[in-house]
Amino acid sequence: MTAPVPSARFLIVGPQGSGKGTQGVLVAEAFGVPQVATGDIFRENVKGGTELGKKVQAIIEAGDLVSDELTSELVRDRLEQPDAAGGFVLDGYPRNRGQVDDLDAFLASRGEALDAVIELSVPREESIARLRQRALDQGRTDDTEEVIANRLAIYERETAPILEVYRERGIVDEVDGVGTLEEVTERIFEALAARGLSVRHNGGNGAAA
């Protein structure tokens, strides 16, 4: 008999400026799984001038959503890579109900499912303040006042409601995203540990120990 494969299939959800990108990387590293951030993948393609990049550039600069078809295909391709076999941390996908259905279908076809959804909550004023700061620090082209407002509106209208779907499945952990980076990371690990999802060390299976 082979040992059960430990799985760490996570989704991190939160408004723009909630810190989900930073926390997603830390969770992914701790569990030894890749972080898959659709926004990062799109931006790399824009930067590299690829076909995909050319298709999505104007959409991203307006803060609108890339089509579900294109985005879901991109994610499926990424999750089929061998490094994502034991798990992943999805950041920025799914972002609406159609993408939830696409992800469900993909995972179900592989006999998989999400293990936990981390909801990072941050008050609106706080996330806007952080985004303004990021605009100064990083100069992302979609961090102008107008585009930020559009992205937050889309988040509230299309993304926040997907949490209800996952809440019904009992897999959402709401984590307070206000605090130091370390405090927030600690809260996430505590929430996951409470589900029996412990950090793996050196490839060992912490969850079964």
Judged by CB under 6 A, how many residues of this single chain contact ligand ADP?
17
Q: Is 16 in the site for ligand ADP (CB under 6 A)?
A: yes
Nearest-angstrom CA–CA distance, 83 and 96: 26
Interaction of residue 60 with ligand ADP, rule CB under 6 A: yes
DSSP 198: P
Interacting stretch for ligand ADP, rule CB under 6 A, among 45-53, 64-72, 170-178, 200-208? 64-72
71 binds ligand ADP (CB under 6 A): yes
Nearest to ligand ADP of 114, 207 (CB atom): 114
> Smallest gap, in angstroms, from Cβ of residue 163 to ligand ADP?
15
Check binding of 151 to ligand ADP (CB under 6 A).
yes
DSSP 8-class letter at 83 = G
x/- string (CB under 6 A) for ligand ADP, residues 32-51? Answer: ------xx--x---------
The CA-based diameter of the chain, rounded to the nearest angstrom, is 57
Instruction: Give the C-alpha separation, 177 to 23, whole Å.
Output: 10
> Which parts of 64-204 are beta strand (E)?
87-91, 116-121, 172-176
Return the residues of window 88-147 that contact ligand ADP according to CB under 6 A: 92-93, 95, 99, 142
What are the residues whose beta carbons fall under 8 Å from the beta carbon of 9, sequence distance 6 or more?
87, 88, 107, 112, 113, 114, 115, 116
Q: How far apart are CA 154 and CA 175, in angstroms?
A: 21
Closest CB to ligand ADP among residues 9, 200: 9
Distance CA 51, CA 15 (A): 29
Q: Residue numbers of the site for ligand ADP (CB under 6 A)? A: 16, 38-39, 42, 59-60, 63-66, 71, 92-93, 95, 99, 142, 151
